[in-house]
Amino acid sequence: MRFIAAIKKECLILLRDKAGLAILFIMPLFLITIMSLIQDAPFKDYKENKIPIVYVDNDKDSLGSIIEKGLVNSGIFSVITEIDGTAANDENTKQSVARGEYRLGIIIPEGATKTMNKNVENRVDKMLANFGMAEKDSTVFQSDSIQLIILFDPAAKIAFRSSVSSTLDKFITRTEMETMLLIFSQKLGEASGIKQEAAIESRPLITLKEIQANDSKVAELLTNSVQHNVPAWAIFAMFYIVIPLASSMIKEREEGSALRLLIIPGSYMTCLYGKIFIYTIVCLIQFILMMMVGIYILPLLGLPAFEIGHNFIALVLMIIACALAATGYGFMVGSIFNSHHQAMVFGSVSVVILSAIGGVLVPVYVMPGIMQNISIISPLNWSLNGLNNVFLRQTDFTALVPDMLKLLGFFVVMILLSAKFNQMKKYK
Amino acid sequence: MSAAISIENLVHRYKDAEQVAVNDISLEIKEGEIFGLLGPNGAGKTTTISILSGLLKPMQGKVTIHGFDVTLQIDESKKLIGVVPQEIALYPTLTANENLEFFGSMYGIQKAALKDKIKNYLNLFGLENTGKKRVEQFSGGMKRRLNLIASLLHDPKILILDEPTASVDVQSRNLIIEFLRDLNKKGTTILYTSHYLEEAENLCTEIAIIDEGKIVIQGSPQQIIGSQPGFDNLETIFLKLTEKKLRD
Ligand SMILES: Nc1ncnc2c1ncn2[C@@H]1O[C@H](COP(=O)(O)OP(=O)(O)OP(=O)(O)O)[C@@H](O)[C@H]1O
Ligand SMILES: [Mg+2]
């Protein structure tokens, strides 16, 4: 069989190309190990370092303690109530935040609970009055607003300010609503107050969602250096196949063996398909090796082990789609360029750019908004996204289909483009 | 004898080139001939061969191989020819055996038959001990001989050779020439280019000298020498017809 012969030839050439093998297998292993080690600390910071918030509770009543509990439970803030050994008060809080020692301070005014309760009670009374009586209450309802003071470090970014403000806002609205409900039901004499209070406190008052990217679970899991770097650099290595693949195609043309193939009827295309086949297999082997490093080697270096998820069929299909896309890309570069130099420079620079855009160097969710939008043009992003779907989100197969189709579509487009260029080369 | 190769009004100009490489050439190479296509550097020999082997699409003209049009019936015409390219066309990191096995398989030759053939040819060309050696470790002459073998494996009816004896020693050259003569006796038509005029004069049954893409003279070596009074060998006639200036 001609196809078998083509594959055998490709294997032999590949196995004898020591530098090519190093690029294919050794380089990515180093990349994964080194990047996981380097990024271990920053990832931990991202996950574990909380924003210190100076908390001055002049209220010393239920609203003050509900907010404090909420802040603590949020997981975003670490609540500080002492500055340099003395209890935080209005003065020293203002000063230390202004000096930038803390980025954030919150002062709950005296009597905040009382004010809130009064407001709520007024409102409830008015509502009950509206329900129960035909004639309207003539007294105008006056509510004193609670002046909650948020202090920001002058250097804090606007985005940070607004997200903290809106989080606190939601907080207070919610507390207000809950207090209102409580008083409402107390007044109606239906349920016991104690039971209600317990119910309120057990509710989570603030969630991570308001501040972090919308996909909180993934964000949380991804804030682990290994979980990001292993698939990211495995994909990078796969696409880096552009170098050995394009180089092998150009070499074949330079050495003249391509000429001989063109003279043998039908053999040129057979060989090109053989190449695509072999390099796709190489991509798969590469990927499996990378996963093994993540699972077995990285833990030996004190890093967490790589989580591979449970859906193996989805994983295999996803990897094949990635491998085809990567091989297709290399094939296209090898078809377009005539010199090694051009292909190497274009190939490596383009893969680095596509991987930066695609979230290999830093995860997409920590990129600025514009870059997050741009990232969707990179096939490395589709690959990474699809694989993370398998590894982290544990989604079912249908969720992978869009990325898989994009990768396969990319492969087809690359092959068609290459065919065009190969045709042009043939009849120069 | 019928025409093995027929070339009618062939014109080819490379993209971006100012001059035409092949300028209205018409030739007929009969079955059983050893045809020598001679000419100085840049005359258009390789271009003509590339068109014959289906590597280049001619701008104008019609080329057939045993009646098959090389641009329309590419596969049929390719099957009839074996082409020995001017440059070595082998995989340097593969061994001689691996190269021959691969190209033989690409021609669809059965494995057992192929193994026998390879062994015979390697013996014939004095490469019997180098089958397991990588081509990159071969000398220039060894590479040329292997380059030739790789084009013979499928027993082509027509063998086209572009300077098969360039840069090889006398022993190798004689071996190759004797081999071609033998092959021709067994019925293979041969088209060959060379810069060695004496070699061509001895080997060829028919010769065409081309210069700047045009045929300058054509005939058997004896006819050509006879047609030029005062000249008694091909080389002097060649120099007279193509003049002494250097070509590119
Ligand atoms: N790829 C190409 N692109 C442009 N011009 C070319 C190309 N190949 C050859 N030529 C030009 O076409 C003409 C014929 O070249 P060709 O290679 O056919 O000559 P040749 O007779 O084989 O010469 P030589 O004896 O040196 O091998 C030359 O002028 C050459 O410069
Ligand atoms: Mg030539």
- DSSP codes of every residue in A276-294: HHHHHHHHHHHHHHHHHII
Q: B54 in ligand 1 pocket by Cβ < 6 Å?
A: no
- Assess A353–B contact: CB distance below 8 Å, yes or no: no
d(Cα B128, Cα A163) in Å, to the nearest integer?
80
The rounded radius of gyration (Å) of the Cα atoms in chain B is 18
Chain A residues in contact with B150 (beta carbon < 8 A): 260
- Is the C-alpha dihedral spanning A320, A326, A328, A330 positive or negative? negative
Q: Alpha helices, DSSP H only, in A293-378?
A: 312-336, 340-358, 369-374
pLDDT in tens, A138-155: 454 455 667 777 887 776
Give this prediction's pTM: 0.75
Query: How many domains is chain B partitioned into structurally?
Result: 1
Instruction: Tell me if A180 sits within 8 A of A126, measured CB to CB.
Output: no
The alpha carbon of A374 is separated from its chain's Cα centroid by a whole number of angstroms, namely: 14
A238 and A143: one domain? no
Judged against a pLDDT cut of 70, whether residue A91 lies above it is answered with: yes
Judged against a pLDDT cut of 60, whether residue A42 lies above it is answered with: yes
Read off the pLDDT band of A158 (50, 70, 90): low
In a domain, B220, yes or no: yes
- Provide DSSP, chain B: --EEEEEEEEEE--TT-SS-SEEEEEEEEETT-EEEEE-STTSSHHHHHHHHTTSS--SEEEEEETTEETTTSHHHHHHHEEEE-SS--S-TTSBHHHHHHHHHHHTT--HHHHHHHHHHHHHHTT-TT-TTSBGGGS-HHHHHHHHHHHTTTT--SEEEEESTTTT--HHHHHHHHHHHHHHHHTT-EEEEEES-HHHHHHH-SEEEEEETTEEEEEE-HHHHHHHSTT--SHHHHHHHHH-SS---
A152 and A89: one domain? yes
Chain A residues in contact with B47 (beta carbon < 8 A): none
In a domain, B83, yes or no: yes
What pLDDT does residue A219 have? 46
Q: B44 in ligand 1 pocket by Cβ < 6 Å?
A: yes
Measure CB to CB from residue A2 to each of B56, B108, B134 and give the nearest one: B108
In a domain, A171, yes or no: yes
A287 and A182: one domain? no
**SS3 category, A83:** strand
Structural domain boundaries enclosing A254? 2-42+224-426
Among A140, A175, A192, where does a domain finish? A192
- Single out the residue of A212, A187, A185, A189 nearest to residue A199, CA to CA: A185
Of B15, B47, B83, the one to substitute when testing ligand 1's pocket (max ligand atoms within 8 A of C-beta) is: B47
Contact assignment for B90 to A266 by CB distance below 8 Å: no
What pLDDT does residue A191 have? 41
Measure CB to CB from residue B106 to each of A13, A255, A267 and give the nearest one: A267
- Is the C-alpha dihedral spanning A423, B87, B156, B158 positive or negative? positive
Task: Taking residues A222-230, report their average pLDDT.
Answer: 77
Judged against a pLDDT cut of 60, whether residue A121 lies above it is answered with: yes
Judged against a pLDDT cut of 80, whether residue A397 lies above it is answered with: no
Q: List the CATH number of the domain containing B235.
A: 3.40.50.300
Contact assignment for A264 to B75 by CB distance below 8 Å: no
- Assess A5–B contact: CB distance below 8 Å, yes or no: yes
Measure CB to CB from residue A259 to each of B55, B81, B102 and give the nearest one: B55
Q: B112 in ligand 1 pocket by Cβ < 6 Å?
A: no
Ligand 1: which residue has its CA nearest to atom 11? B21
Contact assignment for A264 to B56 by CB distance below 8 Å: no
d(Cα B242, Cα B217) in Å, to the nearest integer?
10
- Provide DSSP, A8-69: HHHHHHHHH-HHHHIIIIIHHHHHHHHHHHHTHHHHHHHHHPPEEEEEEESS-SHHHHHHHH
What pLDDT does residue A134 have? 40
Minimum mean pLDDT range among A308-312, A371-375, B152-156: A308-312
Question: What average pLDDT does chain B have?
Answer: 92
Instruction: Tell me if A239 sits within 8 A of A246, measured CB to CB.
Output: no
| Distance from the A389 Cα atom to the nearest Cα atom in chain B, whole angstroms | 42
- Provide DSSP, A211-274: TS-S-HHHHHHHSSHHHHHHHHHHHHHHHTTHHHHHHHHHHHHHHSHHHHHHHSTTHHHHHHHH
Comparison of pLDDT for A348 and A367, the residue scoring more: A348
In a domain, A327, yes or no: yes
- Is the C-alpha dihedral spanning B67, B73, B78, B80 positive or negative? negative
Read off the pLDDT band of A53 (50, 70, 90): confident
Q: B21 in ligand 1 pocket by Cβ < 6 Å?
A: yes
Judged against a pLDDT cut of 60, whether residue A108 lies above it is answered with: yes
Task: Taking residues B21-42, report their average pLDDT.
Answer: 94
Question: For a pLDDT cut of 70, what percent of chain A falls above it?
Answer: 80
A273 and A314: one domain? yes
Query: Which of the 8 DSSP states describes residue A154?
Result: T
In a domain, B226, yes or no: yes
Read off the pLDDT band of A319 (50, 70, 90): very high
Q: Report the atom number in ligand 1 closest to the C-alpha of B14.
A: 4
Ligand 1: which residue has its CA nearest to atom 19? B42
For residue A21, give every residue at least 6 positions away whose Cβ sits within 8 Å of its Cβ, in sequence order, or none: A14, A15
Comparison of pLDDT for A97 and A288, the residue scoring more: A288
What pLDDT does residue A48 have? 57
In a domain, A201, yes or no: no
In a domain, A323, yes or no: yes
In a domain, B179, yes or no: no
Judged against a pLDDT cut of 50, whether residue A210 lies above it is answered with: no
A232 and A94: one domain? no
A272 and A392: one domain? yes
A114 and A228: one domain? no
| Ligand 1 centroid – CA A13 distance (Å) | 31
| Distance from the A347 Cα atom to the nearest Cα atom in chain B, whole angstroms | 24
Ligand 1: which residue has its CA nearest to atom 29? B42
Provide the strand spans (E) within A109-183. 149-152
In a domain, B123, yes or no: no
Structural domain boundaries enclosing B212? 3-87+157-169+188-242
A20 and A146: one domain? no
A145 and A123: one domain? yes
Read off the pLDDT band of A78 (50, 70, 90): confident
Q: Count of H helices and E strands in chain A? A: 19, 6
What pLDDT does residue A199 have? 41
Q: How many CB pairs under 8 A join A and B?
A: 80
Judged against a pLDDT cut of 90, whether residue B184 lies above it is answered with: yes
In a domain, B114, yes or no: no
- Assess A424–B contact: CB distance below 8 Å, yes or no: no
Comparison of pLDDT for B153 and A84, the residue scoring more: B153
In a domain, A37, yes or no: yes
Read off the pLDDT band of A59 (50, 70, 90): confident
Query: How many domains is chain A partitioned into structurally?
Result: 2
A162 and A57: one domain? yes
For residue B29, give every residue at least 6 positions away whose Cβ sits within 8 Å of its Cβ, in sequence order, or none: B3, B4, B5, B6, B35, B189, B191, B206
A366 and A239: one domain? yes
What pLDDT does residue A201 have? 39
Chain A residues in contact with B132 (beta carbon < 8 A): none
Burial of A266 (0-12, 13-18, 19+ CB in 10 A): middle
What pLDDT does residue A185 have? 73
Judged against a pLDDT cut of 60, whether residue B179 lies above it is answered with: yes
Chain A residues in contact with B87 (beta carbon < 8 A): 256, 259
What pLDDT does residue A425 have? 66
Among A192, A214, A247, where does a domain finish? A192
In a domain, A93, yes or no: yes
A242 and A103: one domain? no
What pLDDT does residue A24 have? 87
Element housing A82 (H / E): strand A82-83
What pLDDT does residue A156 have? 66
Q: B46 in ligand 1 pocket by Cβ < 6 Å?
A: yes
| Distance from the B241 Cα atom to the nearest Cα atom in chain A, whole angstroms | 31
Q: B43 in ligand 1 pocket by Cβ < 6 Å?
A: yes
Q: Which amino acid is at B189?
A: T
pLDDT in tens, A254-286: 988 999 999 999 888 899 899 999 999 999 999
Q: List the CATH number of the domain containing A101.
A: 3.40.1710
Instruction: Tell me if B157 sits within 8 A of B78, measured CB to CB.
Output: no
Question: What average pLDDT does chain A have?
Answer: 80
d(Cα A324, Cα A333) in Å, to the nearest integer?
14
pLDDT in tens, B61-88: 999 999 999 999 999 999 999 999 999 9
